[in-house]
Structure 1
Amino acid sequence: MIGLVPAAGAGSRLRPYTDTLPKALVPVDDERTILDITLRNFAEIGFTDVAIIIGYRKEAVIERRAALEKKYGLNLHLVDNPKAETWNNVYSVWCARDLFREGVILANSDTVHPASVERTLLEANAAMAAAGREPGVLLALDTVKKLADEEMKVVVDPEKGARRITKLMDPAEASGEYIGVTLINPSAAEPLADALRAVWERDPQKYYEDGYQEMIDRGFRVDTAPIGEVSWVEIDNHDDLAKGREIACLY
């Protein structure tokens, strides 16, 4: 299994930082960037290979590749998204579809969180497999946080798994928030790639989470794993960045 980091987006709400850098390289703890924290998490759980999907200001990632490999003891593989500045991340994740067959943990490049999240997914995945039902797709879910309109909300049926995943939902209806970290087993490789393609062909401005909803609508089970009481933040704007800097120093 390898790590996968979608890091191709422009992050326009974080300007002026993202005038010259992709969002993943915005500093959150002295010189540490969001990408540093993500790579450290993968190293902590024992991964040796991580793929980074690049696009907007990709030269900044390319320039730091060797230094990041040395710092975290990882082999970094770069996946280019040629439509990063015009299409949304459903296409970006689809660009890495060939890697799904290896099994991946996908971690958004704008989420500051501890390695306990990845460990929770690995442990839940192993427990389900031991019980005779390895999940195809397993989402990290915050069931503690009070939700508002902007969050990627999920409705979970205890018997059937995730049923809805969307921002466009009354927060009171949601079981929790998807925090941007997913374990994808090889068994889900083809169904997920096909679902992502179907979504971007209909509307390239959709999110990759719409690909998960497409899988659900097609009858494919998507499971969730609660992460417990964890400090984390998705960094979309300068207020989020300030919170991210408070959290990053804890890990």
Structure 2
Amino acid sequence: MIGLVLAAGAGRRLRPYTDTLPKALVPIDAETSVLDLTLANFAEVGLTDVAIVVGYAAQAIADRRKDMESRYGVTLELVHNDKAEEWNNAYSLWCARDLFGQGMVLANGDTVHPVSVEHTLLEARGGDQQIILALDTVKSLADEEMKVIWSEANGVERITKLMEPAEATGEYIGLTLIEPSAAEDLADALKTTWERDPNLYYEDGYQELANRGRRIDVAPIGKVDWVEIDNHEDLARAREIVCPS
């Protein structure tokens, strides 16, 4: 099993940092970005082979590759997304389809989270589960969150931002465990999704899988501090989490 980070996005709401850096490299402190934190988490749980999907400002990640490999004891493979500045991340994840067969923990390149989330996903493995989403069932939800409805009988029934918060089981936080057995079906669902509309999210690919009758499970992460960094307010919150005063 490998780690996979989606780090192709431009993150325009985080300018001026992202004038020259991809969102995953926006500094949280002098030496730490979201990508650094994610690689450290992966290494701690034994995921030392890591692929990074790059696109916007890809050279900035390539330039730090050897240093990050040395610092975290990982081996990095860069997967290039040729549509990163035009299309959404359903296509970005599909670009890594040749790696799905190894099994992976997928992490969004803009999610600051503790290593307990990786532990939770890995400990949830077993039985016939093929895809497991890290789910925050504690946080109060609003309109922008990626919300999930899950049932014991059917697994994930809906995953979308376009849902009344009160209907949701919880929020998908941007980390997924993908077993090798899911590789072919997931790649096909993602392809169908971005071909239908290249502006769709990879979570829409998960919905496509659910619509086809494929079960997707969840692993509640408990009460933890995490944040998805979309703007400068989120970045300030990430800095509070990583560098508490």
Offset, 1:134:
2.8
Mapped pair 1:223 → 2:211: no
Q: Deviations over 1:69-122 (max 9, x none)?
A: 000000000000000000000000000001110000000000000110010000
Deviation at 1:158, TM superposition (A): 1.8
Distance 1:138 1:77 in 2: 24
CA distance in 2 between partners of 1:29 and 1:143 (Å): 29
Aligned 1:204-219 pairs, distance under 5 A: 204-219=198-213
Question: Deviation digits for residues 178-213 of structure 1, max 9, x if unmatched?
Answer: 000000000100000000000000000000000000
Alpha-carbon distance, 1:169 to partner: 0.3
Q: 2-side partners of 1:47 and 1:230: how far apart?
A: 21
Identity within the alignment, %: 68
Structure 1 position 215, deviation (Å): 0.1
Aligned equivalents of 1:240, 1:220: Cα separation in 2: 34
2:131 and 2:243 mapped to 1: Cα distance?
31
Count of residues in correspondence between the two structures: 244
When normalised by structure 2's length, the TM-score is 0.98
| 2:151 alignment counterpart | 157
Match 2:194 to one of 191, 200, 210? 200
Post-superposition shift, 1:234?
Answer: 0.2
TM-score by length of 1: 0.96
Instruction: Tell me, in whole angstroms, the C-alpha distance in 2 between the residues paired with 1:80 and 1:3.
Output: 16
Point out where structure 2 has 5 or more consecutive residues left out of the alignment. Answer: none
How far off is 1:239 after superposition? 0.3
Distance 2:239 2:99 in 1: 31
Report the CA distance between 1:32 and its aligned residue.
Answer: 0.4
| 1:46 CA displacement | 1.0
2:242 matched residue in structure 1: 248
Q: Take 2:231 and 2:72, find their aligned partners in 1: how far apart are those partners?
A: 27
Aligned pair partner of 1:134 in 128, 131, 140: 128
Residue 165 of structure 1: SS of its match in structure 2? strand
Structure 1 stretches of 4+ with a deviation exceeding 3 A read: none
Equivalent residue number for residue 61 of structure 2 = 61
Q: Which amino acid letter does the alignment assign opposite residue 106 of structure 2?
A: L
Q: Pairwise CA RMSD of aligned residues?
A: 0.7
The one-letter code matched in structure 2 to 1:243 is R
Q: Superposition pairs for residues 1-16 of structure 1, below 5 Å?
A: 1-16=1-16
Secondary structure at 2:124's aligned position in 1?
Answer: helix
Q: Which residue of 1 aligns with 2:109?
A: 109
Shift in Å, 1:249: 2.5
Structure 1: distance between partners of 2:82 and 2:236: 31
